[in-house]
Amino acid sequence: MRKKPFFHMVRLLCCLALVCSLIGTELTPALAVTQTEINNLKDDAGDLKKQVKELEKKLDALRDDRSAAMQRKNLLDEKISATSQQITNVEEQIAKYAELIAQSEADLADAEAREEAQYELFCQRVRAMEEQGTVNYWTFLFRAVSFSDLLDRLDAINEIMAYDQGVINDLKTLQTEISEKKAGLETNKADSEAAKAELVSIKSSLNTQRSEANQLIEQIRANEAEYKDTIEDLEAEEERIQAEIVRKSKELAAQLAAQGKDQKSNPGGYIWPVDSRYITSTVGGRTSPGGVGSTNHKGTDIGRVGYTSSIYASKAGTVIVSEYSRSYGHYVVISHGSGNTTLYAHMSKRIATVGQYVNQGTVIGITGSTGNSTGPHLHFEITENGTRINPLSHGAKPQKGYLSGYTLSGTGVSK
């Protein structure tokens, strides 16, 4: 069939209208999760990577300096924190990719259904054309009885041809859309797989860092004489912290009393701060080998907690300390009244913040091995009337309001 410029124009306009309408639909975001969100996460990931690299540099600088062993531990704790954040970040990326993939798949299924319908329409038109024969257009035109009749007939043919061309264009556009969507989906899947591989590698790096950190403290404890100053420093730090805790709990009680809210010291009434009931070290004793010089352990160590267990407020109160120290690592202190406090040490992550009121059982942190610790455990202290006491129910009669139902490591004694 010979094409006239006029037909070209009609087709062009038709295509244009079609393309415009398609562009219009493309502009409305159909996806709830966008690549932008993932890109933002990737930006954060870049910052974290930089942070880890900087910490590595600092660690290298201290590598052979024995007196700086404790400083290395602090930096390692920081690096472990940053690495844990990287893990959270990559896990978020993977979750977003999963959402994006699910949405893309639904989108693709929809486009394929539309393509099928359009293809059916196309087949119908082809059958109609076959039945009529294209030559009929010309026969139809030649039957015109006047010039105006010819123009009317020309219009009619244009409409039919434009419609047919529209059907074909729609089909082509849909096919392009589908192949683009498929390619996009494949890219998302590949990116998601890459993120999963990265997660595996970061997790293994985290494990390495954790054992390195634990070994560092083991080394210090094993070479007690060599690290005498470091060990004394740590004990002095714990005593400074204890004095500060007593002072702060009194200060808070005075503040509350001034506001007419009497916060009386109310000993007892504690619950287990973790789900584990496995005691590795008790107050006054050191059952763990290579103890830090002192046989006078100030707290209770609860083991078998790993690096991801929740730590609960043993009793309701106000958080008076939430910070990092060389001895306690990440630790939190809650005041339950003047001279009555609980302390939770060696956390991998602190959740409670200073000034926050927590109910009994509120999650205040996650277990870990930060500070002066050779493995994941919770170091738990209770202070009553300004003095550290034994949190475990002991003696012949069970002490109500203190921790019972535990197993002592090594002895196998259960109480």
Q: Name the residues that contact Zn ion, by CB under 5 A.
A: 299, 301, 379
Instruction: Indicate the residue among 336 and 379 with the shorter CB distance to Zn ion.
Output: 379
- The pairing of strands 363-366 and 310-312 is antiparallel
Q: Give the Cα separation of 209 and 324 in Å (integer).
A: 18
Residue 242 in contact with residue 321, Cβ under 8 Å? no
**Using CB atoms, what's the residue nearest to Zn ion?**
379
Q: Which residues share a beta bridge with 342?
A: 334, 382
Instruction: Indicate the residue among 166 and 290 with the shorter CB distance to Zn ion.
Output: 290
Nearest to residue 281, comparing CAs of 391, 358, 155, 395?
Answer: 391
Minimum gap (Å) between residue 229 Cβ and Zn ion: 21
Structure tokens at 15: 């295509």
Nearest to residue 183, comparing CAs of 90, 254, 111?
Answer: 111
Structure tokens at 179: 């192949």
Instruction: Indicate the residue among 299 and 337 with the shorter CB distance to Zn ion.
Output: 299
Nearest to residue 55, comparing CAs of 212, 235, 201?
Answer: 212
Residue 402 in contact with residue 391, Cβ under 8 Å? yes
Instruction: Indicate the residue among 125 and 277 with the shorter CB distance to Zn ion.
Output: 277
Instruction: Indicate the residue among 111 and 321 with the shorter CB distance to Zn ion.
Output: 321
Residue 402 in contact with residue 393, Cβ under 8 Å? yes
Minimum gap (Å) between residue 280 Cβ and Zn ion: 8
Minimum gap (Å) between residue 241 Cβ and Zn ion: 13
Instruction: Indicate the residue among 41 and 345 with the shorter CB distance to Zn ion.
Output: 345
Minimum gap (Å) between residue 225 Cβ and Zn ion: 22
Q: Give the Cα separation of 295 and 335 in Å (integer).
A: 27
Minimum gap (Å) between residue 353 Cβ and Zn ion: 23
Q: Give the Cα separation of 233 and 226 in Å (integer).
A: 13
- The pairing of strands 407-408 and 278-281 is parallel
Phi, psi of 154 (to 5 degrees): -60, -45
Instruction: Indicate the residue among 252 and 378 with the shorter CB distance to Zn ion.
Output: 378
Q: Give the Cα separation of 57 and 54 in Å (integer).
A: 5
Greatest extent of the chain over all pairs of C-alpha atoms, in Å: 120
Minimum gap (Å) between residue 286 Cβ and Zn ion: 9
Instruction: Indicate the residue among 182 and 286 with the shorter CB distance to Zn ion.
Output: 286
Determine the 3-state secondary structure of 299 from DSSP: coil
Minimum gap (Å) between residue 390 Cβ and Zn ion: 13
Q: Give the Cα separation of 160 and 373 in Å (integer).
A: 83
Q: Give the Cα separation of 291 and 298 in Å (integer).
A: 12
Minimum gap (Å) between residue 373 Cβ and Zn ion: 8
Minimum gap (Å) between residue 292 Cβ and Zn ion: 9
Instruction: Indicate the residue among 188 and 314 with the shorter CB distance to Zn ion.
Output: 314
Instruction: Indicate the residue among 334 and 378 with the shorter CB distance to Zn ion.
Output: 378
- The pairing of strands 340-347 and 378-384 is antiparallel
Instruction: Indicate the residue among 315 and 379 with the shorter CB distance to Zn ion.
Output: 379
Q: How many CB atoms lie within 10 A of CB 281?
A: 21
Minimum gap (Å) between residue 265 Cβ and Zn ion: 24
Minimum gap (Å) between residue 340 Cβ and Zn ion: 20
Q: Give the Cα separation of 18 and 167 in Å (integer).
A: 10
Residue 249 in contact with residue 341, Cβ under 8 Å? yes
